[in-house]
Amino acid sequence: MFSTVYFAASSVLACDGVPAALAARVLDGQLNEAVHLAASLADSDHAHDEYTALQIHADLELALGRHEEAEETYRKTQKAVRHSRDAMRVVSVRNAGWQACFRNQFHVALTCFRRVAEERCATAAQQLDSLIGATLVLFHLGCVQAACDRLAELAPLAAAHPDTRWTYLVEMLRRDLLAQHELHDAEPLGDHIYWRSVVTGSQTALGAPAVLAAGLSMPLLDERLAYLGHLKSFAAGHTQERSALKTYASWSRKAGLADYHRSLCLEMALGAIAAHATAVAEELLEQSGAAALHGSQNARWYLDYLYCRAKIMQQQMRTQEFATLYGRYALASIQHVRADSVSLPAAAPEAAQSRSTPRADDVSARLPAKYRRAYRYLMDHLDQKDLSVREVASQIGVTERAMQGAFRKHLGLSPSELIRRQRMERIRDELLDDDAPVARVLDVAKKWGVQHRSTLINGYRSVFNEAPSQTMGR
């Protein structure tokens, strides 16, 4: 996915104290060299900041598609955060969000990024990193306007940060989304319904360009933007750009960025179809390796693959095959949009949420399988006022102490704190639901096992930094 390069850059900027040599390798696009250096620093007995080295190491493993290794390194990273449970919780949620993103679990990723952005103990860099993640995920979901809204939030926060590289990153992302917007808006791709259903037709939604500091550059992002310039020209019919595109795609493959290389091949295939370079589009689809990934039919990028296959058939005048493939593509697009209409409101803060809507569950994603059963039991009985940690622990055959330790280790929260937080979130959902029947705040709280006004006020304020009455007054 195209998010890979922005994730790598954001990772370096979001961590305090990244050694200059390591940061330079990442931002220069030398990711294989960077992951080896990060591993060496993490293993060193003289590492001055074990957490930073482990965090960058895990992020680079994830960017390089080494998901299992990254998951194990993330566990070590969270153990290295010893100074604060709040800090460990933010790191845990952030890491779960990016892992969900790279697994194409976009609604879980959005929920995680929203939690980080709402955490009062999150640093400014962590909040910027979470907004970068949310912007990328929303764009992958086809929510162009929502992605633009995130960019509008990002720009002033980046400008206020003392590290001017954040402004550079946000501006490169803005230009990237604009270039993709223009490609999807090309007339020959007018039947790409997944994107056409959300294309606004206006570039102003992506905001005005930022003023960048003189002399600042990030080759990792600069080369991505140069590639997009070549792609735009290629899609307009300038076939001489093919050489530059091949060079960039070759770099991504040699760098071990398999997901990113596939994304480039699909982007270039769309450009080739727009240019009516059918043979080139067919070659690029083959190079993407998408046909061999049989378990990926539910991934968003697979829509581009199906669309490109259908358009190739159309340009080759193979009408029956085009109709069959385009029908598959259209059906898959509709299925994604319908699924989003149910799941996205639970993950995106600007969308309304009803009590019956399934929530994108980031907590379950961070727990080991054994304790997910405990979490499910906890959630199923959240409305019971006498729900206790001992009762939940007994359901999975562990001691209360073991469950306390596991939840603190993986979530940065005790089971009691999690119960309180989840109840407050359900109460808030009902208070914000315009379609819910009018009820007293305490009556709503009692439905979720909170019996006393003082418990409600204190718990609600600790989670949302406001009283329930302030939420209702919006």
Distance CA 432, CA 355 (A): 11
Question: Who contacts 335 (Cβ-Cβ below 8 Å, separation ≥6)?
Answer: none
Q: What does the pLDDT read at residue 357?
A: 41
Averaged pLDDT, 426-439: 74
Averaged pLDDT, 176-181: 91
Q: What does the pLDDT read at residue 290?
A: 84
404 pLDDT above the threshold of 60: yes
Residue type, 160: A
Q: What does the pLDDT read at residue 279?
A: 95
Q: What share of the chain in percent tops pLDDT 90?
A: 45
pLDDT, tens only, 295-346: 566 788 889 999 999 999 999 999 999 999 999 999 988 888 777 766 665 5
Distance CA 345, CA 349 (A): 7
Going by pLDDT thresholds of 50, 70 and 90, the confidence category of residue 193 is: confident
CA distances to 115, 125, 448 from 430, rounded to whole Å, are: 19, 32, 11
Hey, what are 197's tokens?
Answer: 């259903």
Biggest CA-to-CA distance, the chain:
72
Distance CA 94, CA 117 (A): 10
359 pLDDT above the threshold of 80: no
SS3 readout for the chain = CCHHHHHHHHHHHHCCCCCHHHHHHHHCCCHHHHHHHHHHHHHCCCCCCHHHHHHHHHHHHHHCCCHHHHHHHHHHHHHCCCCCHHHHHHHHHHHHHHHHHHCCCHHHHHHHHHHHHHCCCCCHHHHHHHHHHHHHHHHHCCCHHHHHHHHHHHHHHHHHCCCCHHHHHHHHHHHHHHHHHHHHCCHHHCCCHHHHCCCCCCHHHHCCCCCCCCCCCCHHHHHHHHHHHHHHHHHCCCHHHHHHHHHHHHHHHHCCCHHHHHHHHHHHHHHHHHCCCHHHHHHHHHHHCHHHCHHHCCCCHHHHHHHHHHHHHHHCCCHHHHHHHHHHHHHHHHHHHHHHHHHHHHHCCCCCCCCCCCCCCHHHHHCCHHHHHHHHHHHHCCCCCCCCHHHHHHHCCCCHHHHHHHHHHHHCCCHHHHHHHHHHHHHHHHHHCCCCCCCCHHHHHHHCCCCCHHHHHHHHHHHHCCCHHHHHCC
Hey, what are 240's tokens?
Answer: 């001489």
Q: Are 144 and 200 in contact (CB under 8 A)?
A: yes
Highest-confidence segment of 163-177, 208-222, 410-424: 163-177
Hey, what are 413's tokens?
Answer: 């929260």
- In 246-259, which positions are buried (b, 16+ CB within 10 angstroms) versus exposed (e)? eebbebbeebebeb
Q: For the beta carbon of residue 341, count every other beta carbon within 10 angstroms.
A: 11
Which domains does the chain show, CATH number per domain? 367-472 (1.10.10.60)
Cα–chain-centroid distance for residue 145? 16
**In this structure, what are the phi and psi dihedrals at residue 275, rounded to the nearest 5 degrees?**
-90, 0
Q: What does the pLDDT read at residue 46?
A: 54
Q: What does the pLDDT read at residue 149?
A: 85
Residue type, 83: H
Mean pLDDT of the chain: 86
CA nearest neighbour of 96 among 412, 363, 298:
363
352 pLDDT above the threshold of 60: no
Residue type, 295: G
Distance CA 288, CA 408 (A): 42
Name the CA radius of gyration of the chain, rounded: 24
pLDDT, tens only, 245-281: 999 999 999 999 999 999 999 999 999 999 999 999 9
Query: What's the pTM?
Result: 0.75
Question: Who contacts 235 (Cβ-Cβ below 8 Å, separation ≥6)?
Answer: 183, 186, 270, 271, 272, 274, 275
Distance CA 181, CA 117 (A): 26
